[in-house]
Chain A
Amino acid sequence: MDDLVIRSVSRLVVPFIQLYGLYVIFYGHLSPGGGFAGGAIVASSMILYGLSFNLEAGSRKLGHDVSSFMESGGAIWYLIIGLLGILFGSNFLANRYAGVSLGTPGQLFSGGIIFFLSLGIGVKVASTMITLFYSLSGGEDSSGSNN
């Protein structure tokens, strides 16, 4: 699908969708949203880019290796943040009882580990959707077996 109107409109719209998705991820502890919603929005922007251009252009922006690395890295990041609670002398995934500074409620860097956990969940959900998109549409290493 190589249409001038679709390419121009998606080139205009995709940065704003990504900015909105990143806003939803980063402000998950202040406004409605969080990792799942923001990650889905970022992933849908990348899927829109890969559909309106071709798959090679999409995978040049975010390759299959990078997205699958981010997909594993999000889960490992979540586990590392959880293990830091044990390291600081409390339970797994402990927030206030591990001595993390909570900050002023309402500021961007507040809420202790909630900000970092939301970031990890967002990265993981977004890269899961993008990896599923590439592998289901036969992108990047299409071996010609599209029967």
Chain B
Amino acid sequence: MISVLDFLLLSFLIVCAIVVARIRDLISAVIIFAAYSLVMAIVWQMLGAPDIAMTEAALGAGVTTFLFLAAISKTKRAE
């Protein structure tokens, strides 16, 4: 059945997703989304998909965060 580490990671993912949708400050939302991507990479690794884990860690936590921040710096910070 589901282990303690699985339960912690998945509940962290759910909390992160709800907070990203609810928070008003966009830069905070981007940082929380980067944390979501890192934990998601760990979950991919535990599900047995190391290539998806590498792609998620490089794209989700690195490149996507920068692209969102660049887009925010060209527009407004508050929602």
Q: In the complex, are there CB atoms of A and B closer than 8 Å?
A: yes
Residues of A near any B CB (own CB < 8 A): 24, 32-34, 36-37, 40-41, 43-44, 47-48, 51, 129, 132-133, 136-137, 146
User: Which of B7-15, B16-24, B30-38, B54-62 binds A?
Assistant: B54-62
Q: Which residue of A32, A36, A136 is within 8 Å of B70 (Cβ)?
A: A136
Give CA–CA (A41, B58) in the complex, Å.
6
Give CA–CA (A33, B49) in the complex, Å.
10
Known: A136-B70, A136-B71, A137-B70. A37 touches B54 (CB 8 A): yes
In the complex, B67 has a CB within 8 A of chain A? yes
Nearest Cβ on chain B to A106's Cβ, whole angstroms:
18
How many residues of B are counted as interface, with CB atoms below 8 angstroms from the partner's CB atoms? 13
Residues of B near any A CB (own CB < 8 A): 50-51, 54-55, 58-59, 62-63, 66-67, 70-71, 74
**A–B pairs, 16, beta carbons within 8 Å:** A32-B50, A34-B51, A36-B55, A37-B51, A37-B58, A40-B54, A40-B62, A40-B63, A41-B54, A43-B58, A43-B63, A47-B62, A47-B63, A132-B67, A136-B71, A137-B70
B58 lies within 8 A of A44 (CB): yes
Q: Which residue of A34, A37, A44 is within 8 Å of B62 (Cβ)?
A: A44
